[in-house]
């Protein structure tokens, strides 16, 4: 019979824990902890929570009725998905339309204020008329035609309104950006035509502006040659021979015609913008534009 090995009287705690036999599952085991105290532990294993897997029915399609039910379910799902997608897209386009309309209205209001400031240049028309009148009435003295006029309202490559205030063209940033992004189609057809017509009128305004600057540059160049400034910004004295005086009168006439075209176009756009802000339709806008008269006196500058 094999001999039983001697068990030492004391074992280190770590060795004692290692030497503790494992107990069957479900039994409470008394162990010696690291602090030397007796501890109880339950050797019972934790039960795992069962996982429920959802699978498609294993049954196949055995009859025509099953087939049509299966096909109808798929078709209904597709229709619902497409409808939801189109609804989301329609709501997005509606939001884009409202935002575009709001931006166009804000730009119209800004342009209205800008044009009212630009129309302060209407007093310039009197200068060109006075220049032509004085040249026509002046009798040559010693082969020279002498006229006295205030400083010409012209500057190279620019338009002067009042003092040093410069002319600014109405803005088309919102409309141009909408065209570049393909957002014009978001607007109702009638509204889109209104803004397209306004854009064309703005193109004509640029042509009027160019014509006026070209004509005014000629007057400015003649002023540098023939006019002597008066003291403290008073009237200038123009001294020309009859041929030069006739050229000056012709330049003043061209500038006046271009000026009146520019002012008329500004008033045309102002009427358009105000009608848009009032919510007028295209027929009402055309009626208001038809009431403008190119030859009627220009409005006086407001104090």
Mean pLDDT of 102-112: 91
With CA atoms as reference, report the closest residue to 128 among 258, 302, 294, 264: 258
H-helix or E-strand spanning residue 112? helix 64-118
Q: Could you read off the pLDDT of 67-91 as tens digits, one per residue?
A: 888 888 888 888 888 888 888 887 8
Partnered with residue 148 across adjacent β-strands are 237
∠ CA 248-253-255 to the nearest 5 degrees?
95
Provide the 10 A C-beta neighbour count for residue 128.
26
Q: Which residue has the tokens 């409309």?
A: 175
pLDDT at 300 over 70: no
Let me know: does 108 contact 194? Beta carbons within 8 Å.
no
How far is the C-alpha of 113 from the C-alpha of 266, rounded, in Å?
12
Query: H-helix or E-strand containing 208?
Result: helix 189-226
The domain segmentation of the chain, as residue ranges, is 101-290
Q: Which two tokens stand for residue 101?
A: 């309309």
Least confident of 13-22, 138-147, 281-290: 13-22
Give the per-residue pLDDT at 293.
65
- pTM for this entry: 0.63
For the stretch 124-179, pLDDT in tens is 888 999 999 999 999 899 899 999 999 998 888 777 665 445 678 888 999 999 99
């Amino acid at each position: 019979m094999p001999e039983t090995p001697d068990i030492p009287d004391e074992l280190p705690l770590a060795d004692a824990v290692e030497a503790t036999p494992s107990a069957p599952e479900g039994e409470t085991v008394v162990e010696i902890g690291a602090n030397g105290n007796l501890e109880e532990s339950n050797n019972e294993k934790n039960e795992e929570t069962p996982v429920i897997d959802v699978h498609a029915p294993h049954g196949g399609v055995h009859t025509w009725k099953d087939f049509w039910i299966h096909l109808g379910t798929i078709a209904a799902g597709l229709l619902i998905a497409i409808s939801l997608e189109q609804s989301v897209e329609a709501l997005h386009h509606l939001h884009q339309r409202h935002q575009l309309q709001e931006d166009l209205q804000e730009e119209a209001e800004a342009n209205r204020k800008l044009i009212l400031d630009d129309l302060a240049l209407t007093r310039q028309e009197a200068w060109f008329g006075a220049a032509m009148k004085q040249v026509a009435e002046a009798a040559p003295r010693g082969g020279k035609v002498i006229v006295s006029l205030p400083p010409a309202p012209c500057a190279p490559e620019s338009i002067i309104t009042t003092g040093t205030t410069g002319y600014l063209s109405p803005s088309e940033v919102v409309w141009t950006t909408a065209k570049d992004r393909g957002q014009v189609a978001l607007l109702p057809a009638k509204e889109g035509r209104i803004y397209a017509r306004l854009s064309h009128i703005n193109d004509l305004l640029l042509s009027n502006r160019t014509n006026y600057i070209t004509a005014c540059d000629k007057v400015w160049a003649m002023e540098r040659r023939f006019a002597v400034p008066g003291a403290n910004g008073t009237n200038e004295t123009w001294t020309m021979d009859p041929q030069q005086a006739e050229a000056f009168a012709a330049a003043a006439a061209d500038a006046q015609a271009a000026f009146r075209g520019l002012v008329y176009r500004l008033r045309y756009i102002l009427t358009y913008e105000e009608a848009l802000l009032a919510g007028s339709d295209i027929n009402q806008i055309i009626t208001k534009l038809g009431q403008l008269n190119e030859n009627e006196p220009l409005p006086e500058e407001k104090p």
